[in-house]
Amino acid sequence: MLWRPGRIFIPQGAFSGWMGGATTVRVGLGAGAPVEQEVGALGYCGALFDTAGDELAHVMALPEDLDVAQPLFVRCHFITNSATAADTVDWKVLYTPVTPNVTTSIDPVTALTTPIAQMAVLGTAAAYQTSPWGIIKGGVISEKAEILIFKCELDAFAVGLTEDKFFMGAEFRYTPKRLQGPDGMGISARPTLAMLGKAY
C-alpha cells in the first residue's frame, strides 16, 4: 500500500521562539531579534526578517506516524515586497532531534543533509512563496526521538532586496507509517504535482 505524504505546517505565530504579549510587539529570541509585524495592510502578521541571519526557533512534537527510515523534507514559507525578479533569498534550517528524558536541550546546530537551495523571488510585491525543499535523509533521526527542535534562518539575500521580507512559517513533508508492523513503505511517499491534485 502506497500512502500520499503527510504534511505539517507551523505558522510563524505558533513558533516557540517569540517573547511578548497582547500589549507589546513580540520579539524573536534568536539571532537578529526579528519582530512580528502586519504584512502590508493585509490583516495578518509575519515575522519580519530584515537582516541576513535573522532566525526563529520552534519546539515540535514529531508525528507518531513519521517513518524515520525515509527522508524528512522541510521548506520555508515567506512573503517579500520585492518587485524585482532578479532578487534572491537563501533560507537555512538547523535542527536537533530530542529523545525525552535522554537528550539535553540545545540550540539547534545540525545542518540539513541537503540544504535548501537559493531561489529567486517572483518579482511581484506581496507574492506568497515557498522555498525549495531541504532534506534530512532517512535513518538520521532515531526511532526513539519524539521532539524536533529547529530554527529557520534567512541566511542571505540579494543586495538589492531592500524591501520587507516576512517569514510565514515552516512546512514538513514526510512518509507516513500508518499500519502496525515492523516495516513501512519501501519507498519515500511521492508528492503530487499540486498538493491537492491527482497527477504525479
Domain assignments of the chain as residue spans, ordered by start: 6-19+26-172
Q: Which residue has the higher pLDDT, 162 or 135?
A: 135
Q: Determine the CATH number of domain 6-19+26-172.
A: 2.60.120.260
Span 2-13, mean pLDDT? 93
pLDDT at 39: 93
pLDDT at 22: 63
Question: Which range among 9-13, 36-40, 144-148 shows the weakest confidence by mean pLDDT?
Answer: 36-40
60-94: b or e for each residue (b if 16 or more CB lie within 10 Å)? bebeeebbbbbbbbbbbbbbbbbebeebbbbbbbb
pLDDT-based confidence at residue 186 (cuts at 50, 70, 90): confident
Residues 6+ apart with CB under 8 A from 123: 82, 83, 84, 85, 86, 87
Return the SS3 of 13.
helix
Kindly tell me if the per-residue pLDDT of 144 is higher than 70.
yes
Residue 62 cell numbers, joined: 514529531
Place of cell 540539513: 112
What would the pLDDT profile of 102-121 be if each residue is shown by its tens digit?
Answer: 988 888 999 999 999 999 99
pLDDT at 178: 82
Kindly tell me if the per-residue pLDDT of 183 is higher than 80.
no
pLDDT at 196: 86
Q: How many CB atoms lie within 10 A of CB 3?
A: 16
pLDDT-based confidence at residue 20 (cuts at 50, 70, 90): confident
Span 168-197, mean pLDDT? 87
pLDDT at 105: 80
Kindly tell me if the per-residue pLDDT of 185 is higher than 80.
no
Task: Check the CA dihedral 39-23-58-109 and report its sign.
Answer: positive
Kindly tell me if the per-residue pLDDT of 62 is higher than 90.
yes
Residue 141 · residue 97 · CB < 8 Å? yes
Span 167-182, mean pLDDT? 90
